[in-house]
Chain A
Amino acid sequence: MTALSLRDVRKNFGPTEIIRGVSLDIAPGERHCIIGPNGAGKTTCFNLISGRFPISSGEILLNDQRIDTLPPHKINRLGLSRSFQITSIFHRLSVFENLRCALLWSRGYRYSFWSPLWRQKALNEAAEHLLEELNLAARRDILAGLLSYAEQRALEIGMTIAGGASVILLDEPTAGMSNTETDYAMALIRRVTQGKTLLMVEHDMKVVFDLADTITVLVYGQVIASGPPEAVRANRAVQEAYLGALEE
């Protein structure tokens, strides 16, 4: 069984093919990183998996179930959650409300307009607990839009895992962070994705080789290598296409 698999997925915008036949199998509990030069189609890949854009051909399966025809919210309900490269939170709601919103669907509240939120004890405790876990308890009632950048990223990771999804997609979670912030964010990600399947796009090679069980290298919409970090590091084609260029 695979947690997530892509089978010959293709995507074209107009006449240009951006994703040119990507196949991937990610085992449950695996920490999988996608790397590749700018414009390789990493984020597009995420957008296809999470249902943000429809695919042109191929198949995407989540826990052996086809998801490539579903809208994003249905994919999310099946247990796949994602974060965005550009922070995506509810900026005019408080930090606490952001987390509570992220918990609502998975706890079965649906579109309820009859259950007052203040009386949902378990829900509120879960949101408070998440606040603690993210180290944002002191910022509880501040509007999310007023948080610092690193705090917003932490909040988004919290919202991404809140619903208890089994497959987590993180799109460059440490982009634009200082070294200390990156270390902190990575520790947080390790902690909150314990036991979950993690698929991550990342540019920071130190982070990637530290974290990943498997690395996939994407160049011009095609997978040129995929395997354990050592194998990818030793791979000739990768060195030429990507890593070599970085070390120059």
Chain B
Amino acid sequence: MKSRWLILVLIAAAIALPWGFYDWSHHRHDGFLISVLSQTGMMIVLALSYNMLLGQAGLFSLCHATFFGIGGYAMVHFLNAAGHDELPVPMEIMPLLAGLSGLGLAILFGAMATKQRATAFAMITLGIGELMATAALMFHHFFGGEGGVTTDRMIDNSVFGLTYASGIQVYYLIVAWTLIAVALMYFLTLTPLGRMANATRDNYERAQFIGYDPRMVRFIQFALSGFFAGIGGGLYAITYEIVTFDALAAPLSANALLMAYIGGTTVFGGPILGAILITLLQSGVSLLSNSWLVYVGVMFIGMVIFAPSGLAGIIQAHGPIQRAGRLGRLTVPYLRLVLPALALLLGFVGLVELMSFLTIGAAQGKKLILFGNPIDVHATVPWVVSSVSLVVGGTWLRFEAAVFHRVWERLSAEVSR
């Protein structure tokens, strides 16, 4: 099995990566890298648990961050209690408590939401999300208002005698819990409940007529997905030692949706890809550009229109051709896409950045620098170059895409014969 190798490679990379960037002369880890990797871990848990709803049960939830957030808030209070010697639980077990907090809240809200289907379900979850976001600002005792709640993760209680003072120790805790959560969520897809979640997604009525109450299936699935989201939130709290209402507000719910969808909801591992990609964009591109959200948004729309099965779906679609040993025949058509795609990208990014620097950038006193040359955003040339690049690239890409499409169709037909 190829996917087994891929999993091993991913795990090995997750363990080894921090050491690849270790600063041996100062005996220091690369803090930025560790923080990006930690973030990736908790986002993988969030995206996968969201996909238990969207991809596996066909439930379009808009409040998934609620359970992530509650896991985070609960974790802060657990850690504080542990710090005062009131909660004798070792750090390694703590994320489980956060998960149980998520589970508890998901049982409550799931009982309300899963009575309804489709649009009504989405509406209820939207309401729940807003309700919780408001509650987070109103109930200072638990949520700490706008400033959030803070904690100190050095609770001096660890199975392995670790202090969790350094980011690398926390990172490995995150790796461990991410692996546990991913493995459990995968296991769930192989149980009667997991299979019936797929079944109620495909055909609600048929599920009833083989003896299942689809609402019960969805309720349990919803509750369990809240459990895993809670674990993710717990890891968040341990990492940042502060949880504010960002951890349960709508933008994070939207992020969960983006990651799951862009990665691919039809394949179990899809959301993992999505979480890695979005986190990298978030931490990488956001350093380079103010407009990184624009790119994520455009990418999302592009995926919805052109590749609704996401990145994993695209990869999966190559399976039959690859098994027939004809993947090589796609090389040239793919290469022919590169230039026009780059031109289109350059034109689009150019225009977005020019506009952004004309307004926000100017206010921040920044200068647009491309390939080491400062660009005058008020000159005509960069605007013309970008526009021409966008239009020419777009037109050219349409042509090449049609060529690619024809080759693809022919290959698929050959392979399926």
Interface residues of A (CB under 8 A from B): 50, 52, 71-73, 76-77, 81-82, 84, 88-93, 97, 100-102, 104-106, 109-118, 159-160, 162-163
Contacts and interface: CB of A to CB of B under 8 A. Distances in A.
Contact of A90 (B191, B192, B199, B217): B199
For this complex, into which size category does the number of interface residues on chain B fall? 20 to 34
A82 B191 CA distance: 25
Contact of B217 (A93, A106, A111, A162): A111
A92 B201 contact: yes
Contact of A93 (B193, B198, B214): B198
B210 interface: yes
Contacts of B194: 113
B195 A101 contact: yes
Contacts of A52: 205
B208 to A, nearest CB: 4
10 contacts: A73-B214, A76-B210, A76-B211, A88-B203, A91-B203, A92-B198, A102-B210, A113-B220, A118-B190, A159-B206
Given A90-B202, A92-B202, A111-B217, A159 B195 contact: no
A115 B188 CA distance: 9
Contacts of B199: 90, 93, 101
Given A90-B199, A92-B198, A93-B199, A72 B208 contact: yes
A81 B212 CA distance: 12
Contact of B205 (A88, A110, A115, A116): A88
Chain B contact surface mostly: helix
A90 B198 contact: yes
Contacts of A112: 191-193
Contacts of B224: 113
A82 B211 CA distance: 11
B210 A163 contact: yes
Interface of B: 187-188, 190-196, 198-199, 201-203, 205-214, 216-217, 220, 224
A116 B187 contact: yes
Nearest to A103: B210
Given A93-B202, A111-B216, A117-B190, 13 more contacts: A73-B213, A73-B214, A76-B208, A76-B210, A89-B202, A89-B203, A92-B201, A93-B199, A104-B192, A111-B193, A113-B193, A114-B191, A163-B210
A85 B213 CA distance: 22
B37 to A, nearest CB: 30
A116 B194 CA distance: 10
Nearest to B208: A72
A28 B214 CA distance: 30
Contacts of B195: 93, 97, 100-101, 104, 117
A50 to B, nearest CB: 7
A102 B198 CA distance: 13
B211 A73 contact: yes
A111 B210 contact: no
B208 A71 contact: yes
B198 A115 contact: no
Contacts of A81: 209-210
A113 B199 CA distance: 15
B116 to A, nearest CB: 16
Give the 3 A-B residue pairs with the shortest CB-CB distance, closest first: A105-B211, A113-B193, A90-B202
A138 B201 CA distance: 26
B417 to A, nearest CB: 15
B192 A162 contact: no
Contact of B188 (A50, A82, A113): A113
Nearest to A83: B209
Contact of B192 (A76, A111, A163): A111
A192 to B, nearest CB: 15
B191 A71 contact: no
Given A82-B209, A163-B211, A115 B202 contact: no
Given A90-B202, A92-B201, A109 B192 contact: yes
A180 B176 CA distance: 59
A77 B190 CA distance: 23
A105 B191 contact: no
B41 to A, nearest CB: 24
B196 A101 contact: yes
A105 B220 contact: no
Contacts of B205: 52, 72, 84, 88
Given A89-B203, A92-B202, A104-B196, A116 B191 contact: yes
Contacts of B213: 71, 73
Contacts of B193: 111-113
Contacts of A109: 192
A40 to B, nearest CB: 23
Contacts of A106: 211
A212 B193 CA distance: 39
B403 to A, nearest CB: 28
A151 to B, nearest CB: 16
A72 B192 contact: no
A144 to B, nearest CB: 8
* Max count, chain B CB within 10 A of own CB: residue among A77, A92, A111, A117: A111
A163 B209 CA distance: 10
A117 B187 CA distance: 10
